[in-house]
């Protein structure tokens, strides 16, 4: 079959499919079979040179429930076959489930997912033999030259074999082996299923650990649930469900089940960086890595020997965890403001061990928070025991990435300009500027304004922190009104 040479760096420019904060992302119309094929061949070639991968190895492939996912999985499988590898179809399972399978089997793992973004976009998340690719690995993939069949074979769907159920079952067993058999006994838990790929596994796991579950709002149409910017309709749904069904908690995930949502008995969704702290406390973690956008409650609670702040994105959190582990810490983990929890080292609890899983995971957060709530009172009492720091965030959609980057660059380092703009909103003086990722401003009343262009979509995000939930929301509302005007300018 005729072939053409593709340089990945050039392909990224032509196709519009590029690396974001976690994997390659792009519009579905741009993620054509040849583009996805080329990325996969480049990934495998890079592993051959960097990790000694050799043809004949298996490659795990899974995906989320977006309409475009099956086609991309098939193109990925065809690339594996043509490169001499054996694709393993793990089916539609959570991102951490296929990553776990790859780590335990010592093989690459590829997840087709756009995470929480709308289904007109999708992505490919690559895991090398020990876990996620990092930023240096992305550079190595970009540098590859690959061959792509032209015309692209019409029968490429035949490359994807039938589903192997073992990866999904192994992921379930991971938690059944760690948590006591009746860890959730007596809890009434609502499972907001929407279109999350982990909905059936999560429901099964909760039931096997003793919870009385109520399934809520299953959808066969993809719903872009973002755990950092919860939709107003999801806020209202949770409140209604809590009242209607008398639930102790409501749980859910984003589309690929690597980011959790946990609500208390009133239906109030907890922030991801709050449940991240609660999960780390339950697991008795010694040192944590978390992005600069996470709530300062992690330092103020005094539960951890050290907190390493990083740029936003799991590759940066993983690099931070690796550095902490290199210092000889007893236990190391990380979490993101979206709630995804990463475990760098094994942890022990009540004679059971949970092996490391250095990729975002939603299930461990949900299970740890629910188990802690059952032991200590309730989800709301767990949150109330933390220092009173509250975060609220939102985003301006359809905000061109180039425009937001230009605005951030113009404001960076100009304390006088920043205070003139945002001091009016906080009615306070700026005392700190952190440019680690975007611009994070701290004021002398301890309020925080953090501006950051999204790494996955044309959006400008704003994170705000204050000493009450009402003030954090009001602060965010004022900031969003300002940012909306910037988009029009």
- How does pLDDT run across 442-469, given as a tens digit for each residue? 999 999 999 998 776 788 989 999 999 9
Which whole number is the average pLDDT over 60-77? 98
HSE-up (13 A, CA, CB side) for residue 377: 6
How far, in Å, are 19, 408, 415 from residue 474 at the CA level?
Answer: 34, 23, 23
Q: How far apart are CA 465 and CA 390, in angstroms?
A: 5
pLDDT class of 398 with cuts at 50, 70, 90: confident
CB 123 within 8 A of CB 39: no
Q: What is the pLDDT of residue 10?
A: 93
Q: How far apart are CA 44 and CA 141, in angstroms?
A: 9
Q: How far apart are CA 109 and CA 65, in angstroms?
A: 18
Q: What is the pLDDT of residue 394?
A: 87
Instruction: List Cβ neighbours of 481 (8 Å cut-off, separation of 6 or more).
Output: none
pLDDT at 1 over 70: no
Q: How far apart are CA 327 and CA 325, in angstroms?
A: 5
Q: What is the pLDDT of residue 356?
A: 97
pLDDT at 481 over 70: yes
Look at 275 and 22; give whichever has higher pLDDT. Answer: 275
Which whole number is the average pLDDT over 136-162? 96
- How does pLDDT run across 211-229, given as a tens digit for each residue? 999 999 999 999 999 898 8
CB 192 within 8 A of CB 251: yes
User: What backbone torsions phi and psi does residue 425 show, to the nearest 5 degrees?
Assistant: -75, -40
Cα torsion 149, 150, 155, 156: sign: positive
Q: What is the pLDDT of residue 457?
A: 73
- How does pLDDT run across 365-394, given as a tens digit for each residue? 999 999 999 999 999 999 999 999 999 888
- How does pLDDT run across 276-289, given as a tens digit for each residue? 999 999 999 999 99
Cα torsion 298, 299, 303, 306: sign: positive
How does the average pLDDT of the chain come out, rounded? 94
Q: What is the pLDDT of residue 91?
A: 98
Q: How far apart are CA 451 and CA 347, in angstroms?
A: 35
Please indicate whether residue 454 is annotated as part of the active site. no
> Percent of the chain at pLDDT above 90?
85
Residue whose entry in the numeric block shows the structure tokens 């058999």? 181
Q: What is the pLDDT of residue 456?
A: 66
For the CA atoms of 237, 341, 256, 9, the dihedral, rounded to the nearest 10 degrees, stands at 130
Q: What is the pLDDT of residue 17?
A: 94
CB 321 within 8 A of CB 344: yes
DSSP structure class, residue 319: H
- How does pLDDT run across 240-275, given as a tens digit for each residue? 999 999 999 999 999 999 999 999 999 999 999 999
Token representation of residue 3: 């072939």
Token representation of residue 222: 């993809």
Q: How far apart are CA 223 and CA 244, in angstroms?
A: 23
Alpha helix positions (H), 83-152: 95-105, 135-142
pLDDT at 489 over 80: no
| Residue in 15, 57, 115, 293 annotated catalytic | 115
pLDDT at 141 over 90: yes
How far, in Å, are 4, 50, 380 from residue 136 at the CA level?
Answer: 27, 11, 41
Q: Is 466 exposed, middle or buried (0-12, 13-18, 19+ CB in 10 A)?
A: buried
- How does pLDDT run across 316-350, given as a tens digit for each residue? 999 999 999 999 888 999 999 999 999 999 999 99
Identify the bridge partners of residue 462 per DSSP, sorted by sequence position: 394, 451
pLDDT at 308 over 80: yes
Chain CA centroid to CA 253, Å? 10
DSSP structure class, residue 257: S
């Amino acid at each position: 079959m005729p072939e053409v040479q593709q340089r990945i760096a050039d392909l990224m420019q032509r196709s519009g499919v590029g690396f974001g904060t976690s994997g390659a992302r792009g519009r579905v119309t741009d993620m054509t079979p040849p583009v996805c094929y080329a990325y996969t061949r480049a990934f495998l070639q890079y592993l051959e040179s960097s990790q000694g991968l050799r043809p004949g190895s298996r490659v795990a492939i899974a995906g989320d429930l977006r309409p475009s996912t099956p086609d991309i999985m098939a193109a990925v499988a065809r690339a594996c076959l043509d490169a001499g590898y054996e694709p393993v179809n793990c089916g539609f399972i959570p991102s951490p489930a296929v990553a776990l399978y790859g780590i335990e089997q010592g093989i690459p793992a590829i997840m087709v997912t756009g995470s929480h973004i709308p289904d007109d976009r999708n992505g490919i998340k690559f895991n090398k033999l020990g876990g996620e690719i990092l930023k240096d690995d992305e550079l190595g993939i970009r540098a590859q030259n690959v061959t792509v069949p032209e015309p692209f074979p019409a029968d490429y769907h035949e490359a994807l074999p039938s589903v192997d159920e073992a990866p999904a079952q192994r992921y379930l067993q991971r938690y059944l082996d760690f948590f006591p058999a009746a860890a959730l006994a007596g809890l009434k838990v609502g499972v907001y299923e929407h279109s999350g790929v982990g909905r059936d596994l999560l429901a099964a796991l909760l039931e096997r650990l003793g919870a009385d579950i109520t399934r809520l709002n299953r959808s066969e149409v993809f719903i872009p649930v973002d755990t950092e910017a919860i939709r107003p309709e999801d806020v209202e749904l949770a409140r209604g469900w809590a009242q209607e069904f008398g639930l102790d908690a409501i749980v859910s995930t984003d589309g690929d089940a690597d980011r959790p949502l946990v609500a208390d008995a009133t239906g109030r969704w907890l922030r991801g960086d709050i449940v991240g702290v609660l999960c780390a406390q339950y697991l008795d973690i010694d040192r944590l890595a978390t992005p600069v956008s996470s709530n300062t409650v992690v330092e103020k609670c005094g539960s951890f020997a050290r907190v390493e702040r990083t740029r936003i994105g799991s590759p940066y959190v993983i690099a931070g965890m690796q550095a902490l582990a290199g210092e000889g810490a007893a236990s190391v983990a990380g979490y993101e403001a979206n709630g995804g929890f990463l475990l760098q080292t094994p942890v022990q609890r009540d004679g059971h061990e949970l092996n490391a899983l250095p990729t975002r995971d939603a299930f461990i957060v949900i299970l740890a928070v629910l188990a802690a709530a059952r032991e200590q009172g309730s989800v709301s009492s767990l949150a109330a025991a933390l220092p009173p720091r509250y975060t609220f965030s939102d985003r301006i959609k359809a905000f061109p990435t180039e425009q937001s980057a230009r605005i951030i660059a113009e404001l960076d380092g100009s304390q006088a300009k920043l205070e003139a703009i945002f001091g009016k909103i906080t009615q306070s003086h700026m005392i700190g500027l952190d440019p680690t990722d975007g611009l994070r401003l701290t004021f002398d009343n301890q309020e925080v304004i953090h501006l950051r262009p999204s790494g996955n979509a044309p959006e400008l995000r704003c994170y705000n922190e204050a000493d009450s939930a009402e003030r954090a929301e009001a602060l965010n509302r004022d900031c969003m009104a300002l940012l909306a005007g910037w988009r029009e300018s």
